[in-house]
């Protein structure tokens, strides 16, 4: 029997998440997508639905941004993101995802606050500012558990770039490496199966369309406006993570 509610909710959430995967919205749309899917189908189902489609998004976004990647930054942060994925694999069944939500939301919100309200000299002395080990590990870990690794990754990259082209390209490729590395652990933890992948790939055209739409949106705004939007969405997404985390405790 055709479940209209299921296909409608998943289609909307995949579109929102794929727009975010283009680098637009500071991860805010992605968090909305994960939250809506979790409310309707549970957190485990939510992350299983999204992973195959995230990889489709990564392939498209990677192709569109291939000319602007910063290999040095990517190679520098990859060991820490993979460490985060390993920690997620080992701790997934034991951790409280609500506490993780509160933590990642709080730390990202604090960064934006310091970035805007403090002078550069003071900001450079803030703990974890520009720390690839901290943000990289946190990105891999939270991506594994909540598909919210884009938030800490973008927080780190904000300290590295002031041009959106390099920012987006490096974000896309860094997150693609994390997402591919999650496939085997998801099978191991029985979060995902081959049957599920084949079922979810039905939504892949929507994922591709969302990346193209997000890429088009990126081109329509200036660097200054882009980073302002990124920071606004980080604040909104962080507050939502904190609220959801406390609400579910």
Distances (CA, A) of 34 to 13, 29, 51, 141: 7, 9, 11, 16
Within 8 A by CB and 6+ apart from 43, the residues are 97, 146
- Please give the pLDDT value at position 28: 64
Q: d(Cα 22, Cα 209) in Å, to the nearest integer?
A: 11
- Cβ(41)–Cβ(49) under 8 Å? yes
DSSP state of 162: S
Q: d(Cα 194, Cα 57) in Å, to the nearest integer?
A: 19
- Cβ(89)–Cβ(185) under 8 Å? yes
- Cβ(150)–Cβ(171) under 8 Å? yes
- Please give the pLDDT value at position 201: 94
- Ranges of each domain in the chain: 4-248
- What are 146-166's pLDDT values in tens digits? 887 887 888 788 778 777 888
- Please give the pLDDT value at position 10: 94
E strand intervals along 114-194: none
- The average pLDDT across 96-111 equals 75
Q: d(Cα 223, Cα 80) in Å, to the nearest integer?
A: 28
- Please give the pLDDT value at position 118: 54
- The average pLDDT across 135-152 equals 88
3-state DSSP assignment of residue 56:
helix
Tokens, residue 53: 């489609």
- What are 212-239's pLDDT values in tens digits? 988 888 778 776 777 777 778 778 877 8
The more confident residue out of 169 and 84 is 84
pTM of the prediction? 0.80
- Please give the pLDDT value at position 133: 93
Q: d(Cα 165, Cα 84) in Å, to the nearest integer?
A: 26
- Please give the pLDDT value at position 7: 93
Q: pLDDT band at 144, cuts 50/70/90?
A: very high
Q: pLDDT band at 54, cuts 50/70/90?
A: very high
- Please give the pLDDT value at position 245: 81
CA dihedral 150, 32, 28, 218 (to 10 degrees): 100
- Cβ(108)–Cβ(232) under 8 Å? no
Distances (CA, A) of 217 to 207, 227, 233: 15, 13, 15
- Read off φ and ψ for residue 136, nearest 5 degrees: -65, -50
């Amino acid at each position: 029997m055709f479940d209209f509610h299921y296909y409608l909710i998943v289609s909307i959430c995949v579109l929102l998440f794929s727009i975010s995967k283009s680098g637009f919205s500071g991860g805010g749309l992605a968090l909305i997508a994960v939250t809506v899917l979790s409310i309707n189908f549970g957190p485990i189902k939510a992350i299983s639905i999204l992973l195959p489609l995230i990889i489709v998004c990564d392939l498209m976004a990677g192709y569109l941004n291939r000319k602007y990647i910063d290999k040095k930054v990517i190679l520098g942060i990859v060991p820490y993101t993979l460490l985060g994925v390993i920690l997620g694999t080992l701790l997934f069944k034991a951790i409280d995802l609500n506490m993780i939500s509160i933590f990642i939301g709080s730390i990202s919100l604090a960064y934006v606050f310091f970035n805007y309200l403090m002078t550069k000299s003071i900001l450079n002395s803030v703990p974890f500012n520009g720390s690839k080990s901290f943000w990289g590990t946190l990105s891999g870990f939270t991506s594994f558990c909540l598909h919210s690794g884009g938030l800490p990754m973008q927080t780190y990259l904000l300290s590295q770039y002031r041009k959106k082209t390099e920012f987006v390209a490096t974000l896309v490729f860094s997150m693609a490496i994390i997402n591919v590395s999650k496939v085997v652990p998801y099978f191991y933890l029985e979060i995902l199966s081959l049957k599920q992948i084949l079922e979810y790939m039905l939504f892949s055209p929507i994922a591709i369309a969302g990346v193209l739409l997000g890429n088009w949106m990126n081109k329509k705004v200036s660097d200054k406006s882009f980073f302002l939007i990124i920071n606004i969405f980080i604040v909104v997404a962080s507050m939502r993570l904190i609220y959801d985390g406390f609400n579910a405790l």
